[in-house]
Amino acid sequence: MPREGSNGTNDGPLLEIEGLVTHYGRIKALHEVSLHIGEGELVALVGGNGAGKTTLLRTISGLQPSSAGDITFDGRAITRFPPDKRVEIGIAQVPEGR
């Protein structure tokens, strides 16, 4: 279902991440990541080993807890949602099978 504001148009990005920080113990794995993805946009996440690609995806899907920052999906703050609640609203992670 498309997101519609009071004027009948989409309001803001579908996925919005602001200042996201994630730690593995005392090691900061994500350093204030911010991004905005609109409905229908295709985005590639590219980087070397250890750059934080998997950690970002795990944090968005709720498998890795965030230490700071906000995640908003379809206008709803989901930063503290457990993984199963994120699946219910349409966020899922499908790992590559090797």
Domain 15-88, what fold? Rossmann fold (3.40.50)
Residue among 73, 48, 45, 69 nearest 61 (CA): 73
The strand pair at 76-77 and 15-24 is best described as unpaired
Q: Give the pLDDT confidence of 32-41 residue by residue, as tens digits.
A: 999 999 999 9
Q: Spell out the domain ranges in the chain.
A: 15-88
Q: What is the pLDDT of residues 45-98, one digit of tens each?
A: 999 999 999 999 999 999 999 999 999 999 999 999 999 999 999 999 888 887
